C-alpha cells in the first residue's frame, strides 16, 4: 500500500451539484441523490505515476491516491482486489471470438466483488468514528460487511429476504453479525433498515446510500485498465442489480482520462438483468432517465433481484454515454451459462455471472458483436454461495 495521502477533496451531488465536507458523516444529498467523491486528479497523477503501479502490492489499495481514506491507520483490508483477467480458453474458441475475457471477482475475500466496496465503506466509517453499521442485502454485500465489520470491531446488523440462500446466512453468522430476515425483496429490507436508522444509532450501508462503496468498486476499472496496458476493451458486460460496480467503473474511466492515463476510447457498457427483474432494461428501452420499480421481481440470482436502484439514473447515464446497451436474459439461459462457465472455463461462478455470459451469447447472435472486439464479461461472485440453488438447477440443465 502506498503511504501517500489521498487526493480526495470533497463530496458532491451529481444531480443538484451541492458539495459536502469529507469529514461529514452522511448518507445521501439533501435532494435524495447519491453522493460521489471528488479528487484533485492532477495532484493524484503527480503522486501516483502510472508507471509506478506495477511496483505496488496487487490489491485495490495500490490506487491509494484516488481512494477516499485519509490515513492508512484506518484501512480495514483483507487484501481485496487484484483479481485475474482470464482470456477465454474454450468458449471464445467455440464462438470464434478470440477477444473474450473474464474478470473473475469470485476470488475476492468473502467470494465476490462486494469485498471491494465494503472494505472501503468500513474503512471510511472507522475513520469517521462510526461504530454501528447496518445493511439491506440479498447476500454477498451482507457477507462482505459482516467480515469487514468483524475485522474493524464494529457492531453489524444485516437485513435479508427470507429466501436468501443458506450459505449467506451461515457466513454472516460466523462473522458475528446479527441477522434479521424479512418477507419480501431487498426493497422491503431497505425499508426496515431506514426505519431502524431513524429510531436507533445505526449507519446505513445500503447500495449508493453512502458515498464510499462505489469508491471501492471503481477499482475494478483501474485494474482492468492496468491489465490491458491502459488501452481499454471495446465492451464491458456487467450484471446489474444496484449498479454500483458499473457506475464506479465509469467514474474510474473518467478519472483516468482526466489524468491522461488512457489510450483510445472508453468501453461500451452493457448492463445485464434477468427478464424477471429488469427495471434498468425497461427504462433504457423506453428512453427514460430513471427506472420505475419492478413489480414482483423473480430470479434465482439474488444480486439481480433488485426492483429499484437509488442510482438508476447514474446507471442509465453511464450506459448511454458509453454508447452501450441494457439487455435482459432468460432464467434458463442464465443457468445454462453458469454451467458453461464451470464446465468449459473451470470457473464455478454465481448465477449473476451466468447472466453476463448469456448476454454475451445473445449479443453475438443478434449481430451486436462481430467477433473482432475485446469484450470483458464480469464474473461478480462465487457459485459456492449458491450451492442449494445451483444444485436444484442441475436437474433442468
Q: Report the alpha-carbon distance of residue 133 to residue 204 in Å, rounded.
A: 6
- Quick check: 213 pLDDT over 70? yes
Q: What is the mean pLDDT of the chain?
A: 96
Query: Which architecture does CATH list for 85-110+213-394?
Result: 3-Layer(aba) Sandwich (3.40)
Q: What is the percentage of the chain residues whose pLDDT exceeds 90?
A: 95
Residue 387: CB atoms within 10 Å = 14
Q: Report the alpha-carbon distance of residue 38 to residue 68 in Å, rounded.
A: 9
Average pLDDT rounded to a whole number, residues 48-58: 94
Determine the pLDDT at residue 4.
Answer: 52
Average pLDDT rounded to a whole number, residues 308-333: 97
Which residue ranges make up each domain of the chain?
Answer: 85-110+213-394
Determine the pLDDT at residue 60.
Answer: 98
| Element containing residue 220 per DSSP (H, E) | helix 219-227
Q: Report the alpha-carbon distance of residue 189 to residue 358 in Å, rounded.
A: 29
Q: pLDDT tens for residues 356-394?
A: 999 999 999 999 999 999 999 999 999 999 998 899 888
- Quick check: 2 pLDDT over 50? no
131: burial class by Cβ within 10 Å (0-12, 13-18, 19+)? Answer: middle
Q: Note whether 363 and 222 are within 8 A (CB).
A: no
Determine the pLDDT at residue 1.
Answer: 44
Determine the pLDDT at residue 3.
Answer: 45
Q: pLDDT tens for residues 35-46?
A: 999 999 999 999
Q: pLDDT tens for residues 229-266?
A: 999 999 999 999 999 999 999 999 999 999 999 989 99
Closest CA to 36 of 23, 63, 17: 17
Please report the beta strands in 261-370, taking only residues with DSSP state E, as ranges in sequence order: 268-274, 325-329
- What is the number of helices (H) and of strands (E) in the chain? 14, 13
Please report the beta strands in 105-261, taking only residues with DSSP state E, as ranges in sequence order: 132-136, 155-161, 178-182, 203-204, 235-239
**Alpha-carbon distance values, 175 to 102, 109, 189 (Å):** 30, 13, 20
Average pLDDT rounded to a whole number, residues 190-215: 95
Q: pTM score, two decimals?
A: 0.95
Q: Which three cell numbers stand for residue 178?
A: 446479527
Q: What is the percentage of the chain residues whose pLDDT exceeds 70?
A: 99
Quick one: pLDDT band at residue 396, thresholds 50, 70, 90? confident
Q: pLDDT tens for residues 269-293?
A: 999 999 999 999 999 999 999 999 9
* φ, ψ dihedrals at 380, nearest 5°: -80, -15
Average pLDDT rounded to a whole number, residues 293-306: 94
Closest CA to 239 of 356, 90, 354, 77: 356
Determine the pLDDT at residue 192.
Answer: 96
**Alpha-carbon distance values, 109 to 53, 118, 122 (Å):** 22, 11, 14
Amino acid at each position: 500500500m502506498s503511504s501517500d495521502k489521498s487526493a480526495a477533496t470533497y463530496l458532491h451531488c451529481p444531480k443538484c451539484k451541492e458539495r459536502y465536507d469529507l469529514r461529514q458523516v452522511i448518507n445521501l444529498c439533501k435532494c435524495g441523490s447519491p453522493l460521489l467523491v471528488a479528487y484533485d486528479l492532477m495532484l493524484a497523477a503527480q503522486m501516483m505515476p502510472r508507471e509506478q503501479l506495477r511496483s505496488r502490492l496487487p490489491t485495490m489499495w495500490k490506487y491509494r491516491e484516488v481512494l477516499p481514506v485519509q490515513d492508512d491507520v484506518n484501512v480495514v483490508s483483507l487484501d481485496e482486489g487484484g483479481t485475474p483477467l482470464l482470456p477465454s480458453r474454450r468458449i471464445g474458441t467455440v464462438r470464434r471470438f478470440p477477444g473474450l475475457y473474464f474478470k473473475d471477482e469470485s476470488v475476492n475475500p468473502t467470494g465476490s466483488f462486494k469485498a471491494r466496496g465494503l472494505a472501503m465503506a468500513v474503512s471510511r466509517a472507522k475513520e469517521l468514528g462510526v461504530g454501528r453499521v447496518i445493511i439491506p442485502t440479498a447476500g454477498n454485500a451482507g457477507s462482505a460487511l459482516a467480515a469487514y465489520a468483524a475485522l474493524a470491531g464494529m457492531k453489524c446488523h444485516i437485513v435479508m429476504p427470507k429466501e436468501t440462500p443458506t450459505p449467506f446466512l451461515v457466513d454472516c453468522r460466523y462473522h458475528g453479525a446479527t441477522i434479521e430476515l424479512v418477507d419480501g425483496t431487498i426493497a422491503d429490507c431497505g425499508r426496515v433498515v431506514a426505519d431502524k436508522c431513524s429510531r436507533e444509532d445505526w449507519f446505513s450501508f445500503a447500495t449508493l446510500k453512502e458515498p464510499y462503496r462505489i469508491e471501492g468498486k471503481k477499482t475494478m476499472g483501474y485494474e482492468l485498465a492496468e491489465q490491458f496496458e491502459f488501452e481499454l476493451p471495446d465492451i464491458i458486460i456487467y450484471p446489474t442489480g444496484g449498479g454500483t460496480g458499473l457506475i464506479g467503473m465509469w467514474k474510474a474511466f473518467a478519472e483516468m482520462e482526466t489524468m491522461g492515463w488512457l489510450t483510445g476510447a472508453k468501453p461500451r457498457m452493457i448492463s445485464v438483468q434477468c427478464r424477471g427483474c429488469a427495471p434498468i432494461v425497461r427504462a433504457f428501452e423506453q428512453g427514460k432517465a430513471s427506472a420505475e420499480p419492478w413489480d414482483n421481481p423473480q430470479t434465482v440470482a439474488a444480486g439481480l433481484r433488485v426492483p429499484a436502484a437509488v442510482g438508476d439514473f447514474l446507471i442509465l447515464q453511464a450506459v448511454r454515454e458509453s454508447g452501450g446497451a441494457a439487455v435482459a436474459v432468460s432464467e434458463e439461459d442464465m443457468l445454462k451459462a453458469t454451467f458453461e462457465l464451470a464446465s468449459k472455463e473451470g470457473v464455478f461462478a454465481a448465477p449473476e455471472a451466468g447472466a453476463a455470459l448469456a448476454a454475451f451469447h445473445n449479443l453475438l447472435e443478434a449481430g451486436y458483436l462481430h467477433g473482432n472486439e475485446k469484450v470483458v464479461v464480469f464474473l461478480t461472485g462465487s457459485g459456492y454461495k449458491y450451492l442449494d440453488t445451483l444444485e436444484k438447477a442441475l436437474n433442468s440443465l
